A = this chain, B = another copy of it.
Amino acid sequence: MMRKPRLYTPGPTLVPEAALSAMSRQMMHHRTAEFRRILAEVFEGLKEVFATSSDVLVLSSSGTGAMEAAVVNLVPRGGKAIVLESGKFAERWRILCERFGIEVVRYELPWGEAFKPQRVAVLLREHPDTTAVFSTLMETSTGVGHDIEGIGRVVKENGRALFVVDGISGVGAVECRTDTWGIDVLVVGAQKALMTPPGLAFLAVSPRAWKQIEANTARPAFYFDLLAYRKALETADTPYTPAIPLILALAESLKQLRAVGMETIWNGTRVLAAAFRAGIQALGLKLAAARPADGMTAVFFPEGIDGKAFLGRLEERFGIKLAGGQGPWKGNIFRMAHFGMIGELDVLSTLAALELLLHEVNPTVQLGLAVAAAMSIIATNHLN
Protein backbone atom coordinates (compact mmCIF):
# COMPACT_ATOMS: atom_id res chain seq x y z
CA MET A 1 0.00 0.00 0.00
CA MET A 2 0.94 3.66 -0.22
CA ARG A 3 2.88 4.96 2.78
CA LYS A 4 2.98 8.63 3.55
CA PRO A 5 6.33 9.75 5.02
CA ARG A 6 6.32 10.39 8.76
CA LEU A 7 9.48 12.30 9.61
CA TYR A 8 9.92 11.95 13.39
CA THR A 9 13.70 12.47 13.67
CA PRO A 10 15.01 15.14 16.06
CA GLY A 11 15.68 17.40 13.06
CA PRO A 12 15.10 18.17 10.29
CA THR A 13 11.47 18.11 11.35
CA LEU A 14 8.09 18.58 9.66
CA VAL A 15 7.40 22.14 8.50
CA PRO A 16 3.84 23.58 8.56
CA GLU A 17 2.08 23.91 5.19
CA ALA A 18 1.93 27.70 5.49
CA ALA A 19 5.69 27.86 5.96
CA LEU A 20 6.32 25.52 3.02
CA SER A 21 4.07 27.60 0.79
CA ALA A 22 5.73 30.84 1.89
CA MET A 23 8.99 29.58 0.39
CA SER A 24 7.53 29.20 -3.08
CA ARG A 25 7.01 32.94 -3.36
CA GLN A 26 9.03 34.69 -6.08
CA MET A 27 12.15 36.49 -4.78
CA MET A 28 11.84 39.96 -3.39
CA HIS A 29 14.85 42.16 -2.76
CA HIS A 30 16.08 42.04 0.83
CA ARG A 31 16.96 45.72 1.17
CA THR A 32 13.34 46.84 1.04
CA ALA A 33 10.81 48.10 3.57
CA GLU A 34 8.66 45.01 2.98
CA PHE A 35 11.41 42.55 3.81
CA ARG A 36 12.59 44.57 6.80
CA ARG A 37 9.05 44.45 8.21
CA ILE A 38 9.15 40.65 7.98
CA LEU A 39 12.60 40.51 9.58
CA ALA A 40 11.49 42.83 12.41
CA GLU A 41 8.56 40.50 13.10
CA VAL A 42 10.93 37.52 13.07
CA PHE A 43 13.26 39.18 15.59
CA GLU A 44 10.28 39.86 17.90
CA GLY A 45 8.95 36.32 17.54
CA LEU A 46 12.32 34.76 18.33
CA LYS A 47 12.62 36.87 21.49
CA GLU A 48 9.27 35.55 22.71
CA VAL A 49 10.15 31.91 21.91
CA PHE A 50 13.56 32.27 23.57
CA ALA A 51 12.07 34.04 26.62
CA THR A 52 14.53 36.88 26.39
CA SER A 53 14.59 40.62 26.03
CA SER A 54 18.19 40.49 24.73
CA ASP A 55 19.18 41.02 21.12
CA VAL A 56 18.48 38.02 18.88
CA LEU A 57 20.63 37.62 15.76
CA VAL A 58 19.77 35.65 12.62
CA LEU A 59 22.59 33.87 10.77
CA SER A 60 22.31 32.12 7.40
CA SER A 61 24.19 28.96 8.40
CA SER A 62 23.57 25.67 10.14
CA GLY A 63 23.52 25.57 13.95
CA THR A 64 27.23 24.72 13.94
CA GLY A 65 27.94 28.12 12.42
CA ALA A 66 26.21 29.83 15.34
CA MET A 67 28.18 27.66 17.81
CA GLU A 68 31.38 28.83 16.11
CA ALA A 69 30.15 32.43 16.33
CA ALA A 70 29.64 32.05 20.10
CA VAL A 71 33.13 30.62 20.60
CA VAL A 72 35.16 33.02 18.46
CA ASN A 73 33.33 36.16 19.53
CA LEU A 74 33.48 35.49 23.28
CA VAL A 75 36.78 33.81 24.05
CA PRO A 76 40.12 35.16 22.79
CA ARG A 77 42.89 32.87 21.54
CA GLY A 78 44.75 31.75 24.66
CA GLY A 79 41.68 32.37 26.85
CA LYS A 80 40.07 29.69 28.99
CA ALA A 81 36.69 27.95 28.71
CA ILE A 82 34.93 25.23 30.69
CA VAL A 83 33.24 22.72 28.41
CA LEU A 84 30.57 20.34 29.71
CA GLU A 85 31.17 17.36 27.47
CA SER A 86 28.96 14.31 27.09
CA GLY A 87 27.69 13.35 23.65
CA LYS A 88 28.43 14.39 20.10
CA PHE A 89 27.15 17.96 20.21
CA ALA A 90 28.76 18.85 23.54
CA GLU A 91 31.99 17.47 22.07
CA ARG A 92 31.63 20.01 19.25
CA TRP A 93 32.02 22.84 21.79
CA ARG A 94 35.37 21.37 22.79
CA ILE A 95 36.57 20.82 19.23
CA LEU A 96 35.56 24.37 18.31
CA CYS A 97 37.42 25.83 21.31
CA GLU A 98 40.53 23.81 20.54
CA ARG A 99 40.44 24.77 16.87
CA PHE A 100 40.52 28.45 17.84
CA GLY A 101 43.37 28.12 20.35
CA ILE A 102 41.27 28.29 23.52
CA GLU A 103 42.39 26.44 26.65
CA VAL A 104 39.66 23.95 27.56
CA VAL A 105 38.81 22.74 31.05
CA ARG A 106 36.76 19.60 30.46
CA TYR A 107 33.95 18.35 32.64
CA GLU A 108 33.51 15.07 30.83
CA LEU A 109 30.90 12.41 31.48
CA PRO A 110 30.08 9.14 29.69
CA TRP A 111 27.38 9.41 27.03
CA GLY A 112 23.89 9.44 28.54
CA GLU A 113 24.80 10.99 31.91
CA ALA A 114 23.78 14.44 33.16
CA PHE A 115 26.01 17.23 34.46
CA LYS A 116 25.86 18.17 38.15
CA PRO A 117 25.70 21.91 38.85
CA GLN A 118 27.87 21.49 41.97
CA ARG A 119 30.72 20.06 39.90
CA VAL A 120 30.53 23.12 37.65
CA ALA A 121 30.79 25.32 40.76
CA VAL A 122 33.96 23.50 41.83
CA LEU A 123 35.53 23.92 38.38
CA LEU A 124 34.68 27.62 38.36
CA ARG A 125 36.35 28.11 41.74
CA GLU A 126 39.40 26.18 40.53
CA HIS A 127 39.53 28.25 37.33
CA PRO A 128 38.51 31.81 38.23
CA ASP A 129 40.04 33.01 34.92
CA THR A 130 37.37 31.17 32.87
CA THR A 131 35.80 33.40 30.22
CA ALA A 132 32.82 31.17 29.39
CA VAL A 133 31.08 27.92 30.29
CA PHE A 134 29.78 25.99 27.27
CA SER A 135 26.84 23.62 27.84
CA THR A 136 23.92 21.92 26.11
CA LEU A 137 20.18 22.14 26.80
CA MET A 138 19.14 18.92 25.06
CA GLU A 139 21.95 16.65 23.88
CA THR A 140 20.48 15.25 20.68
CA SER A 141 22.94 12.36 20.46
CA THR A 142 21.87 10.91 23.82
CA GLY A 143 18.49 12.46 24.61
CA VAL A 144 19.76 13.93 27.88
CA GLY A 145 18.17 17.15 29.11
CA HIS A 146 20.73 18.96 31.24
CA ASP A 147 19.87 21.06 34.29
CA ILE A 148 20.49 24.40 32.63
CA GLU A 149 18.57 26.30 35.30
CA GLY A 150 20.78 24.79 38.04
CA ILE A 151 24.01 25.23 36.12
CA GLY A 152 23.06 28.82 35.27
CA ARG A 153 22.62 29.52 38.98
CA VAL A 154 26.09 28.25 39.95
CA VAL A 155 27.72 30.07 37.04
CA LYS A 156 26.17 33.31 38.31
CA GLU A 157 27.26 32.61 41.92
CA ASN A 158 30.84 31.62 41.12
CA GLY A 159 32.74 34.37 39.36
CA ARG A 160 32.29 36.31 36.17
CA ALA A 161 32.24 33.59 33.52
CA LEU A 162 29.63 33.88 30.78
CA PHE A 163 27.10 31.08 30.39
CA VAL A 164 26.65 29.73 26.84
CA VAL A 165 23.98 27.17 25.99
CA ASP A 166 23.55 25.10 22.83
CA GLY A 167 19.78 25.09 22.60
CA ILE A 168 19.82 24.12 18.93
CA SER A 169 17.42 21.22 19.20
CA GLY A 170 15.55 21.94 22.42
CA VAL A 171 14.49 25.58 22.34
CA GLY A 172 10.92 26.00 21.14
CA ALA A 173 9.90 22.65 22.66
CA VAL A 174 11.28 22.40 26.18
CA GLU A 175 11.28 25.03 28.90
CA CYS A 176 14.17 27.44 28.43
CA ARG A 177 13.98 30.78 30.25
CA THR A 178 16.99 32.51 28.77
CA ASP A 179 16.93 35.66 30.91
CA THR A 180 15.66 34.13 34.16
CA TRP A 181 18.17 31.30 34.02
CA GLY A 182 21.12 33.61 33.39
CA ILE A 183 21.98 32.38 29.90
CA ASP A 184 24.35 34.91 28.30
CA VAL A 185 24.46 33.37 24.84
CA LEU A 186 21.78 30.98 23.60
CA VAL A 187 22.35 29.22 20.27
CA VAL A 188 19.29 27.88 18.41
CA GLY A 189 18.74 26.13 15.07
CA ALA A 190 15.79 26.56 12.70
CA GLN A 191 15.22 22.94 11.73
CA LYS A 192 14.23 21.54 15.10
CA ALA A 193 11.43 22.76 17.36
CA LEU A 194 11.09 25.99 15.35
CA MET A 195 9.57 23.91 12.51
CA THR A 196 11.60 25.68 9.83
CA PRO A 197 13.86 24.09 7.21
CA PRO A 198 17.60 23.96 7.96
CA GLY A 199 19.79 26.87 6.90
CA LEU A 200 19.19 29.46 9.62
CA ALA A 201 20.65 29.72 13.12
CA PHE A 202 20.08 32.19 15.94
CA LEU A 203 21.92 33.69 18.88
CA ALA A 204 20.44 35.55 21.84
CA VAL A 205 23.20 37.73 23.33
CA SER A 206 22.98 39.31 26.80
CA PRO A 207 24.31 42.82 27.55
CA ARG A 208 27.10 41.19 29.61
CA ALA A 209 28.11 39.05 26.63
CA TRP A 210 28.14 42.10 24.34
CA LYS A 211 30.65 43.77 26.69
CA GLN A 212 32.96 40.77 26.41
CA ILE A 213 32.59 40.67 22.59
CA GLU A 214 33.44 44.38 22.35
CA ALA A 215 36.52 43.81 24.53
CA ASN A 216 37.63 40.80 22.43
CA THR A 217 38.94 42.96 19.60
CA ALA A 218 41.12 40.30 17.93
CA ARG A 219 38.22 37.87 17.38
CA PRO A 220 38.93 35.74 14.26
CA ALA A 221 35.54 36.32 12.67
CA PHE A 222 34.09 38.11 9.69
CA TYR A 223 31.01 36.23 8.44
CA PHE A 224 30.36 35.31 12.08
CA ASP A 225 31.38 38.68 13.57
CA LEU A 226 28.42 39.32 15.87
CA LEU A 227 29.06 43.06 16.12
CA ALA A 228 28.21 43.32 12.40
CA TYR A 229 24.89 41.54 13.08
CA ARG A 230 24.13 43.86 16.00
CA LYS A 231 24.82 46.92 13.87
CA ALA A 232 22.47 45.59 11.17
CA LEU A 233 19.75 45.05 13.81
CA GLU A 234 19.42 48.83 14.14
CA THR A 235 17.72 48.89 10.73
CA ALA A 236 16.06 45.43 11.10
CA ASP A 237 18.59 44.02 8.69
CA THR A 238 21.32 41.39 8.37
CA PRO A 239 24.91 42.26 7.37
CA TYR A 240 24.99 39.78 4.44
CA THR A 241 22.25 38.63 2.07
CA PRO A 242 19.99 36.34 4.14
CA ALA A 243 18.36 33.10 2.97
CA ILE A 244 15.12 34.87 2.00
CA PRO A 245 12.78 31.85 1.58
CA LEU A 246 13.88 30.42 4.92
CA ILE A 247 13.12 33.74 6.61
CA LEU A 248 9.62 33.72 5.08
CA ALA A 249 9.09 30.14 6.33
CA LEU A 250 10.35 31.06 9.79
CA ALA A 251 7.94 34.01 9.97
CA GLU A 252 5.03 31.61 9.39
CA SER A 253 6.26 28.99 11.86
CA LEU A 254 6.83 31.63 14.54
CA LYS A 255 3.26 32.87 14.05
CA GLN A 256 2.01 29.35 14.78
CA LEU A 257 4.24 28.90 17.84
CA ARG A 258 3.20 32.27 19.28
CA ALA A 259 -0.48 31.56 18.68
CA VAL A 260 -0.22 28.50 20.94
CA GLY A 261 2.13 30.15 23.44
CA MET A 262 5.36 28.87 24.89
CA GLU A 263 4.02 27.74 28.30
CA THR A 264 1.40 25.59 26.55
CA ILE A 265 3.99 24.17 24.16
CA TRP A 266 6.47 23.38 26.95
CA ASN A 267 3.72 21.56 28.85
CA GLY A 268 2.59 19.64 25.77
CA THR A 269 6.15 18.49 25.11
CA ARG A 270 6.32 17.13 28.69
CA VAL A 271 3.13 15.13 28.21
CA LEU A 272 4.23 13.69 24.85
CA ALA A 273 7.54 12.63 26.33
CA ALA A 274 5.87 11.06 29.37
CA ALA A 275 3.41 9.19 27.16
CA PHE A 276 6.10 7.87 24.82
CA ARG A 277 8.27 6.75 27.74
CA ALA A 278 5.37 4.99 29.43
CA GLY A 279 4.97 3.04 26.20
CA ILE A 280 8.70 2.31 25.95
CA GLN A 281 8.68 1.06 29.53
CA ALA A 282 5.68 -1.18 28.83
CA LEU A 283 7.72 -2.67 25.99
CA GLY A 284 10.51 -3.41 28.44
CA LEU A 285 12.98 -1.18 26.57
CA LYS A 286 15.62 0.98 28.23
CA LEU A 287 16.04 4.74 27.88
CA ALA A 288 19.49 5.93 26.84
CA ALA A 289 19.44 9.09 28.94
CA ALA A 290 19.92 9.20 32.71
CA ARG A 291 17.98 12.49 32.74
CA PRO A 292 15.82 12.46 29.61
CA ALA A 293 14.99 15.70 27.85
CA ASP A 294 11.32 16.16 27.04
CA GLY A 295 11.94 17.23 23.45
CA MET A 296 13.02 13.75 22.33
CA THR A 297 13.58 10.21 23.55
CA ALA A 298 16.56 7.96 22.85
CA VAL A 299 16.01 4.24 23.46
CA PHE A 300 18.39 1.26 23.44
CA PHE A 301 17.43 -1.52 21.05
CA PRO A 302 16.80 -4.81 22.82
CA GLU A 303 19.63 -7.39 22.66
CA GLY A 304 19.89 -9.22 19.37
CA ILE A 305 18.17 -6.59 17.21
CA ASP A 306 20.10 -5.13 14.26
CA GLY A 307 19.35 -1.44 14.79
CA LYS A 308 20.00 -0.25 11.25
CA ALA A 309 17.88 -3.00 9.69
CA PHE A 310 15.08 -2.39 12.20
CA LEU A 311 14.90 1.34 11.40
CA GLY A 312 14.92 0.52 7.68
CA ARG A 313 12.00 -1.85 8.20
CA LEU A 314 10.11 0.76 10.27
CA GLU A 315 10.36 3.18 7.38
CA GLU A 316 9.51 0.63 4.72
CA ARG A 317 6.52 -0.85 6.57
CA PHE A 318 5.06 2.30 8.12
CA GLY A 319 6.80 5.30 6.54
CA ILE A 320 8.15 6.25 9.97
CA LYS A 321 11.61 7.81 9.89
CA LEU A 322 13.37 7.74 13.27
CA ALA A 323 17.05 8.56 13.83
CA GLY A 324 19.62 5.92 14.77
CA GLY A 325 22.61 6.42 17.04
CA GLN A 326 25.79 8.37 16.40
CA GLY A 327 29.42 7.75 17.37
CA PRO A 328 29.76 5.00 20.00
CA TRP A 329 25.99 4.43 19.96
CA LYS A 330 25.71 3.81 16.21
CA GLY A 331 23.35 0.87 15.72
CA ASN A 332 22.51 0.76 19.45
CA ILE A 333 19.72 3.29 19.86
CA PHE A 334 16.79 4.91 18.12
CA ARG A 335 15.67 8.49 18.67
CA MET A 336 12.28 10.13 18.27
CA ALA A 337 11.44 13.83 18.51
CA HIS A 338 8.51 15.14 20.56
CA PHE A 339 8.47 18.62 19.14
CA GLY A 340 7.05 20.74 16.38
CA MET A 341 4.13 19.18 14.53
CA ILE A 342 4.51 15.81 16.24
CA GLY A 343 1.44 15.19 18.41
CA GLU A 344 -0.25 12.54 20.58
CA LEU A 345 -1.38 10.39 17.66
CA ASP A 346 2.13 10.35 16.20
CA VAL A 347 3.47 9.07 19.51
CA LEU A 348 0.77 6.37 19.65
CA SER A 349 1.32 5.39 16.01
CA THR A 350 5.04 5.04 16.56
CA LEU A 351 4.53 2.88 19.63
CA ALA A 352 2.06 0.70 17.69
CA ALA A 353 4.57 0.30 14.86
CA LEU A 354 7.34 -0.59 17.32
CA GLU A 355 5.07 -3.17 18.99
CA LEU A 356 4.14 -4.74 15.66
CA LEU A 357 7.76 -5.01 14.51
CA LEU A 358 9.04 -6.32 17.83
CA HIS A 359 6.16 -8.84 17.85
CA GLU A 360 7.32 -10.11 14.46
CA VAL A 361 10.76 -10.84 15.93
CA ASN A 362 9.46 -12.09 19.25
CA PRO A 363 5.83 -13.35 19.29
CA THR A 364 5.69 -13.18 23.10
CA VAL A 365 5.57 -9.36 22.82
CA GLN A 366 1.97 -8.57 23.75
CA LEU A 367 0.29 -6.21 21.27
CA GLY A 368 -1.26 -2.97 22.48
CA LEU A 369 0.33 -2.71 25.92
CA ALA A 370 2.65 0.14 24.98
CA VAL A 371 -0.11 2.04 23.20
CA ALA A 372 -2.44 1.63 26.19
CA ALA A 373 0.22 2.81 28.63
CA ALA A 374 0.81 5.95 26.58
CA MET A 375 -2.93 6.54 26.18
CA SER A 376 -3.47 6.56 29.91
CA ILE A 377 -0.92 9.39 30.24
CA ILE A 378 -2.58 11.32 27.44
CA ALA A 379 -6.06 10.76 28.92
CA THR A 380 -5.08 12.37 32.22
CA ASN A 381 -3.26 15.36 30.70
CA HIS A 382 -5.57 17.35 28.50
CA LEU A 383 -3.53 19.12 25.81
CA ASN A 384 -4.65 22.22 24.00
Contact = CB atoms under 8 A, between A and B. Distances in A.
Interface stretch (A8-16, A144-152, A301-309): A8-16
Nearest to A27: B12
Contact of A62 (B9, B242, B246): B242
A189 B9 CA distance: 30
Contacts of A72: 220
Interface residues of A, number: 50
A24 B252 CA distance: 13
A197 interface: yes
A68 B240 CA distance: 12
Nearest to A340: B27
Interface string A192-225: 0000011100000000000000000000111111
B27 A321 contact: no
A314 interface: no
A241 interface: yes
Given A100-B220, A222-B95, A241-B62, A7 B28 contact: yes
Interface of A: 5, 7, 9, 11-15, 20-21, 23-30, 60-65, 68, 72, 95-96, 99-100, 189, 191, 197-199, 220-225, 240-246, 249, 321
Given A12-B30, A198-B243, A223-B224, 7 more contacts: A12-B244, A23-B23, A60-B60, A60-B199, A96-B222, A99-B221, A199-B245
14 contacts: A7-B29, A13-B27, A14-B27, A15-B26, A60-B198, A61-B223, A62-B223, A62-B242, A99-B222, A100-B220, A197-B243, A198-B243, A245-B245, A246-B246
